[in-house]
Every structure is written in structure tokens, then in C-alpha cells.
Amino acid sequence: MKKRFILMMLSLSMLVFAGCAYPAGIQDPTGTAAGESAKEDQEEETDTMKEEAEEEENYDTGDATKDDPRNGDDIGDKEILVVSFGTSYNDSRRLTIGAIEGAVEEAFPDYSVRRAFTSQIIIDHINKRDGILIDNVEAALKRASDNNVKELVVVPTHLMDGFEYNDLVKEVGNYSDAFEKVSVSKPLLSSDEDLDRVADIIAEAVSGYDDGETAICFMGHGTEAGSNKVYARMQEVIDEKGLENIYIGTVEASPSVEDVLSEIADKGYKKAVLRPLMVVAGDHANNDMAGDDEDSWKTLFSDAGYEVTTVVEGLGQLEGIRDIYVEHVKAAVSGNVATEEDMAEVKDVSFEGMEPVAIKDINDGEYDIIVDSSSSMFRIVSAKLLVKEGEARAVMNMGGTGYKYVFMGTGEEASKADGSEYIEPVENEDGSNSFEIRVEALDAEIPLAAFSKNKEMWYDRTLVFRADSLDKAAFKEDASKKVSDLSLEDGSYEAEVSLKGGSGKASVTSPAGIVIEDGKCMAEIEWSSPNYDYMVVDNEKILNESTGGNSRFTIPVAYFDEEIKVIADTTAMSKPHEIEYTLCFDSSSIKESGEDKADSEDVKKKNMK
């Protein structure tokens, strides 16, 4: 099986990655190798974590034996590796990281769930204090490889993307050739939709304190990385929702605790509730927020005259937060494409007697048109068809904002396509979104993939633009003729054919031999060059039949007296190049072929179905 490494990178970070390798991929419980191989950036981690071992002695961190380190073998073919920065606070680790791992395990029973921490300092401290060894990333990846895991899904529990997340992706990438498939899910706050949901979740968690006299202040970590702006964006989302008593600050960046105190001053609050905006409630929550030191949030708010309540609970304890992580894992497992089980009932948008109506048969203009959709979740409130010079585009008003992009093709194709091919929405005056797409024909099924903001996956849709919803005046008088209009018996004929397009130097032999059988027409096209290796007619690829001399193809002909778009691939250049042409068969020139019967039978047999 071809090996793939799928990186779903939307960024976040908290601290610098510090997963260190040991000989043969085994961790050194003394931690000596960590100091030898750590990056200079690890100094930031050391500064922020060095006091945890000392400070936690003032607290009962809980029973370590109640927490599952998830470092077992016998993994099976499929593994989900949940990667966290880590904490040595045992109860918090079990109630947050452990709860996230448990939610993932419940959602994906066919996968073995394992754990890794990126902080070697924490790993070593837990091992020394409690005799429990948690894998670092290197050891966890080696464990997966040694257990012959075929599919590996890595799940970072980071709050946002940044240094550590990107370093984790690189670390996993070094092992990508050890597995048949590797994917990395996104951190918690990877989109505006994530921010919106998290705002609702934390607001619900503190709703009991909403008495008009209490300021609810969440403490994030903060980082010098650009991803720190997620805190300001979170505050914007909270403000937009009218959650006037909720404020966001950070320990080590902006907005600071001083910024928060300044913000809530003179608003009449008498009380303050402090709660961490962190996945786990570890050293920062217990000391920087709820501690008794003179520079802790608790002390600073008390000194400012507020009655302070501290809630030392990590975000991982909230079910809604765990649900978001699970959805991100689901997107990683599925390759960001919804399965049949993910989709609501799919409707058949075809109808009896449906035949494509070419855009060239519609007069230039702007028309209201009805669009049938295969999904009730992709409901098009209204649409306008814009026709000009044989081409058409449609503006579809969705009546909402649930989709981030659409793509002309399938979800699988969209997941592999360059982002430049995604069609972004246009905001309407009422705040809803519209998408503008090209339309090749009416009364024809058009595959379209839509990227859901909430689910963060591509969903396959099928659209049909209904010709019968247009007024008759929209259609040109049809001068073209179908094969059935010619009233010809089955047999061999010839007809004049003209070619347009390209540089104008190429030509085709005219008249061309044609064969009509069972209402279908096939034509033999001979080019003036031997350098064409295939043609594309009506989305069908047709190969060159000539073994010497000029290129020759047998192609289907649906209409006479109208230009038929075709593509011919030439090998005359340094690289093969597709060239667009049009062919037009003249119905008035049709006459019985002068070929002998044997030759006629040969032509009749070519590609007839």
C-alpha cells in the first residue's frame, strides 16, 4: 500500500517541543539525555516548569495509580496517540488528559489509544516520584512502529497551534515511513467555529456565577508566538455573544492580568471568579492563578477589592471540549472527507427523461433558476443563472453561513486539491453567504463538495439546475440536430467535418466516415499529424488507434450542425500538452459511404456500445 503522511495543519502552541530521544528509542529515567539533546528553546519550558516539582509539594496532587499511562504494547493495526504537554498533578492529569483519551477511545473502539507527553521534565518527575513512566513522543512512535501499527493518528491536546504543534508534526514526519498512513489532528482552537463553540462551553460552565455582580476571568498561558492572538480573538467572540461578564487574560503575554483588572474596573463588580483557560489545571492554575503569592491572580484581585473564588479545573474536564477534540480526530481519521454514515439522507436528484441542456442553447442573460440538491443540509434558498457567450455561472444563496468553501468535484478530490481551487463565499447584505460556481449544463448532475464549518469536513453533494424552471424565452431556437432527427437507417455514411481551435495549423480529414447503429453515431477522425496520443470527448478519454501515420480516433457524435468541444493531447512539444478544439459535423452533407462492406463493418464495430 502506498504510504501517505497527511498533515492537517492549522496552528497553535503553548511552549516549545521537548520530546527527547534515548538510545534505541527507550527513555532514560534519570533525564540526563534530555539536557544533552534539548533545544535552546527548551529553556522556556524549563523556566515555566522548574517550580512545579517544588510547588506541588504544597498540594495533594492525587493518587497516580488511578491514572492510566497508556504505555502498553499489543496495540493492533490502528493506533490513536494522544500527545499532551503533560502535568505532574495526578488528579488533574486523570480528569483532563485522561478524560480526553477516554472520550477518544469511546468514539473509536477499533483503535488502540496510547499516550505521549512532550515535556521531558514532567515525564522524569512523575517517574521519579511515582514510579510511572509515560512515553515521550520518540518512545511512543517507536512503540507504535515496533508493534507493527499500520495506521497512526496523532492527536495533540494543545490549545492552539504554534511552536510545539509544528515541532510535533515534524517529529511525527520523521516516522511517517514506518506506517502505511499517518495523520495529525488539529488543536482545540483551530477555527472561528472552534472559538465560537468554546465560548459557549465555558460560558455554560460558569453560568451559575452570573449574578450581575461577578466578573468571570479566565487565565490562559500566553506565548510570544503569533498564535497568542487567539486570546484576543476569543475575547472578541465572547463580546460578540453579549457575554459581558467574561474576560480573558494570560500569565505570560497579552492580555495580562493588569489588562483584565483595568478592563473590569468601574463596572460595579464586587466579586471575581478565576478559572484557567488551559486543558489541564497544573502549576499555573494552582500557583499563578489560585496561589497565595503576592503576584498571583488571586492575590491581585483580592488586593483590588474583589471577593475571589478560584475554580481549579482544566478545560479537559468539560464534556463539550472533549467533543471538539473527538471531532478533530474524526476529521483526521476520515481524511477530512465525510463518510456515508456522517451524511444525512442522500436524495436522488435525477428525474425521468432527464437529458442535459447545453448552455449554448440558452440566450445571454440573468435568470432565476431552481436548483435541486441531494442533501437537505445543503439547501439553496435562491439562485441566479448568469449566461454569457455560451458559458454560465450560478450564484447560489445559501441563507446561512454553515459552509467555509465549496469545490467543483468530490470531497476526496477536494481534500487533495490545492486550496486555490476552493470557492469562498460572498457575504450577502443580510449576513448570509452565497457561492458562485460554473455550470456546464442544465438538467445534468453536477458533483460538488462543501466544507462544513462546524464539522470541518468535506461533504459530497449533487446539484441539478432545472431547465424547466426557466421561461421558454430563455432558450434559443435549436438549429442543431440529434442523430435521431436525421431519420437515417443503421449503416455507414460520411459527412463534412470542420475543425476550429488551437493554432489554426491542425486539420482533420473531411469528409469523415461515420457509422450509425441503434440510434448512436460514431465518427472516424483522422488528424493532419501523427502526434496526438489521445482525445477527450464528452469527458471520455479515447486513445489513438493508428499504429503508423497520422493519428486516428473513433469518437461519439451526439449532435450535428453544432460545435462539439473536444480536447486533443499533442506529444509534439517537450511535454505533452492538451489543446482545446471544436468539431462540427454538417448534416446537409451526409451521404452513404463509398467504402466496401468489409471496411464498413470494421468502422461499425469500433467503440459501439
Q: Looking at the structure, do residues 220 and 163 belong to the same domain, yes or no? A: no
Mean of pLDDT values over 497-511:
92
Helices (H), 241-286: 257-264, 283
Q: Count CB-CB contacts under 10 A for residue 297.
A: 26
Give the range of the structural domain holding residue 263, as residue numbers without chain letter: 192-317
Q: Are residues 119 and 15 in the same domain?
A: yes
Q: CA 339: distance to chain centroid? A: 13
Query: In Å, what is the CA distance from 34 to each residue of 88, 115, 166, 168, 539?
Result: 17, 19, 20, 16, 58
User: Residue 168 to residues 69, 189, 571, 603: CA-CA distances in angstroms?
Assistant: 20, 17, 45, 62
Residue 337 lies in a domain: no
In angstroms, the CA 206 to CA 203 distance is: 5
- Has residue 405 been placed in a domain? yes
Query: Domain for residue 333, yes or no?
Result: no
- 467 plus 485 within the same structural domain: no
- Note the pTM of the prediction, 2 decimals: 0.58
Name the residue with higher pLDDT: 34 or 264: 264
In a domain, 509, yes or no: yes
CB of 264 within 8 A of CB of 247? yes
Q: What is the largest CA-CA distance in the chain?
A: 107
Tell me the pLDDT band of 61, cut-offs 50, 70 and 90: confident
CA nearest neighbour of 159 among 73, 91, 246, 253: 253
Task: Tell me the CB-side half-sphere exposure of residue 410, using CA atoms within 13 A.
Answer: 5
Q: What are the grid coordinates assigned to 499, written together?
A: 475543425
Torsion of CA 125, 131, 134, 140, to 10 degrees: 130
Q: Per-residue pLDDT for 225 more than 80?
A: no
Whether residues 88 and 157 fall in one domain: yes
The yes-or-no verdict on residue 468 having pLDDT over 70 is: yes
User: What is the model's pLDDT at position 478?
Assistant: 66
**Residue 269 cell numbers, joined:** 463588580
The predicted model gives 263-290 an average pLDDT of 94
* Domain co-membership, 10 together with 124: yes
State pLDDT tens for residues 363-386: 999 999 999 999 999 999 999 999
Model confidence pLDDT, tens digit, residues 539-583: 899 999 999 899 999 999 988 988 899 999 999 887 889 999 999
Can you say how many angstroms the Cα of residue 485 is from the centroid of all Cα atoms in its chain?
48
What mean pLDDT is reported for the chain? Answer: 85
Crossing angle of helices 42-49/120-130, nearest 10°? 40
Q: Which residues contact 67 (CB under 8 A, 6 or more apart)?
A: 90, 93, 94, 98, 132
Q: Which three cell numbers stand for residue 283?
A: 502549576
Q: What is the pLDDT of residue 21?
A: 31
Check if the beta carbon of residue 163 is closer than 8 Å to that of residue 225: yes
Residue 327 scores a pLDDT above 80: yes
Read off the CATH number of the domain in which 582 is found.
2.60.40.1850
Q: Is residue 329 part of a domain?
A: no
pLDDT for the residue 226: 76
Neighbours of 579 (CB within 10 A): 15
Query: In the prediction, which pLDDT does 600 show?
Result: 42
Statement: residue 318 has pLDDT above 60 = yes
Instruction: Report the DSSP pairing between strands 382-388 and 365-368.
Output: antiparallel
Three-state secondary-structure class, residue 404 = strand
Same domain? 297 vs 368: no
Task: Dig out the grid coordinates for 292 from the structure.
Answer: 497565595
Same domain, 152 and 61: yes
Q: Are residues 169 and 47 in the same domain?
A: yes
**Are 434 and 395 contacting, i.e. CB atoms less than 8 angstroms apart?**
yes
Give the bridge partners for 495, in sequence order: 512
pLDDT, tens digit, 9 for 90 and up, residues 190-219: 888 899 999 999 999 999 998 989 999 999
Residue pair 350/445 in contact (Cβ under 8 Å)? The answer is: yes
Reply yes or no on whether the pLDDT at 464 is more than 50. Answer: yes
Q: 465 and 523: one domain?
A: no
Cα of 491 vs its chain's centroid, Å: 53
Instruction: Give the Cα separation of 360 and 88 in Å (integer).
Output: 70
Domain assignment of residue 537, yes or no: yes
Q: What is the pLDDT of residue 563?
A: 87
pLDDT of residue 456: 77
* Residue 253 · residue 229 · CB < 8 Å: no
Q: What is the DSSP string of 138-156?
A: HHHHHHHHHTT-SEEEEEE
37 belongs to a structural domain: yes
Closest by Cα among 124, 120, 115, 185 to 143: 115
Rg (CA), the chain: 33
Q: How confident is the model at residue 19 (pLDDT cuts 50, 70, 90)?
A: very low
- Structure confidence at residue 8 (pLDDT): 35
Look at residue 127 and tell me if it is in a domain: yes
Which of 420, 441, 474 is a domain's end point?
Answer: 474
For the stretch 73-103, pLDDT in tens is: 999 999 999 999 999 999 999 999 999 999 9
Domain count, the chain: 4
Domain identity same for 431 and 513: no
Please identify which residue in the block is written with the cell numbers 469562498: 424
Whether residues 90 and 115 fall in one domain: yes
| pLDDT score for 37 | 33
pLDDT given for residue 161 in this prediction: 80
pLDDT (mean) for 272-288: 94
| Amino acid in the structure at residue 304 | A
Percent over 90 (pLDDT), the chain? 64
Phi-psi region of 502 (alpha: psi -120 to 50; beta: other; left: phi over 0): left
Q: What is the pLDDT at residue 487?
A: 85
Catalytic site residue from 221, 284, 328, 577 = 221
Q: Is the pLDDT of residue 131 over 60?
A: yes
- Answer yes or no: 221 catalytic: yes
φ/ψ (deg, to 5) at 378: -120, 70
Give Cα separations from 6 to 169, 350, 399, 413, 586 (angstroms).
Answer: 10, 35, 33, 14, 52
Judge whether 27 and 135 are in contact, CB under 8 Å: yes
